[in-house]
Amino acid sequence: LSQAPPAPARHRAAGMRAGLLKFVVACGLSIGCSASTRAGARPAFPAALDLGTGCLASGTCPRAKRSEQVLLQFTPALAPSAPALSLGGAAAAQPTLSAAAGRLAADQPPAAQGLGQGPRRQRFKAVEQLGARIPAGGEVRLYIVGSSNVAWQTWPDQLHALLKGLGYAVPVGNYTLAELHRPMAGRAPVCDNAHEFDDLDTPRIGKVGWASWGFAYESTDDCMDGFRWIDGHRVSCSNGWGCREKSLFRPSAIAEEARGADVVLLSNWVNNIKQAWTGWSCFMGQAVDPLDTVGITLVTMHKLIAAIHEASPNTMVLVMAMYPVSYGNRVDERSLAATEALNARVKGSLEREPNTLFVDYAFPVEQAVFQKRNPGHANCRGDRAMAVAALKTLYHGRVLARGLMTPTPYDYYCFQQGNCSAIRTRQCCQMSVMCWLDSAGACVPYGPGTE
């Protein structure tokens, strides 16, 4: 086992009380559904459509799509994960899952032990490992910072519910900046499993339309005529959609409130690339290619991460990737290569920070994973993919001792399978975007949510 980072005292104590840990063997291979780029070619976002929203680049689009609701978000395929330790003695080699349901039958347990049949058992199929910071059943203190993807989406709440389902406790403290529930709950879809997380307290800052620079500076003292230089670009010292808000969130204040958190999740940089929709007002009217905003993202994200670690050196920071551009309620496949390039650049730099991990994930291109009410925002299915990916990152990053078992190998069939009755194992169902394990452990369809 590799040396794990030092765990807070309460986790070390809990680990000694946890008793014998099981060893589990599971492959952490991940899916890859992104487009590849030619050697030396610069990937680009769709030319015919403005960032894949369904509106023509010339500006011809429904009036509603010109509003502040158009805060697009996107992300790439997963990178291969390191193998995990697992338990139960010598693990028998399992057949490779394929797109044929018949092949999945090889993983099917006896009928008496099938999904939703026979004696009641643990809902999730879990794996455990030694040497993680937080033992199985321990406490996981969360703190989340983001934009409309935190205010209008459910992925933070779904992550909390998954942690609770795996036996973890998610305590909360007293907050002045963060809210314990979605600040605009009525704007988010109502998910099939909303009853599992609607009453959970999950501290988060969700600022609609904000970009990463709104969380990176202590003051505006370095501004001139309302702008400051960041990586060679003039960037507004105001915040919000179109940079019309004078308020800011000081990184030191965020860090102080998040002090002692085990995990801080950051999804506050998704609007950096979307300034075309504001007439480039945040960039002093200058057009900036989305890929050229990476420098702005890195400068500002490093500032916030450094502040968090100055207050809490052992806090693990998870940076959520951007998800793919939407075309209607599906993924615009033309954007996948550029999205992957954007995320790779951000990941390569931010993961050099201590105790910092990047959450890669993907959306199935064949399925409806985006909202209708809030264009470009993930619906319940997309949020499920984000929450599961964050949980996997915490497990493979040796933060959590217990995580969700993934199919061996992780197969695209499970990820996008919409015929839930064809899924024969819990580990396949719990990794699906289109299905979920209900409270009885049955694999049932998971809808996009009611809007």
Looking at the predicted structure, is the pLDDT value of residue 119 above 60?
Answer: no
Looking at the predicted structure, is the pLDDT value of residue 24 above 50?
Answer: no
201-242 per-position pLDDT tens digit: 999 999 999 999 999 999 999 999 999 999 999 999 999 999
Question: Higher confidence at residue 36 or residue 315?
Answer: 315
The alpha carbon torsion through 3, 8, 14, 18 (nearest 10 deg) reads: -10
Q: Summarize the confidence of residues 113-138 as an average pLDDT.
A: 75
In this prediction, residue 412 carries a pLDDT of: 76
In this prediction, residue 155 carries a pLDDT of: 98
Listed range (31-35, 71-75, 144-148, 187-191) with the worst mean pLDDT: 71-75
356-407 per-position pLDDT tens digit: 999 999 999 989 999 999 999 999 999 999 999 999 999 999 999 999 998 8
302-318 per-position pLDDT tens digit: 999 999 999 999 999 99
Looking at the predicted structure, is the pLDDT value of residue 64 above 90?
Answer: no
Domains of the chain as residue ranges with CATH:
9-445 (3.40.50.1110)
Angle at 338 (CA atoms; ends 334, 340), nearest 5 degrees: 110
CA 19 remoteness from chain centre = 32
405-431 per-position pLDDT tens digit: 988 765 778 988 889 999 989 999 999
Confidence of residue 10 (pLDDT cuts 50, 70, 90): low
In this prediction, residue 440 carries a pLDDT of: 87
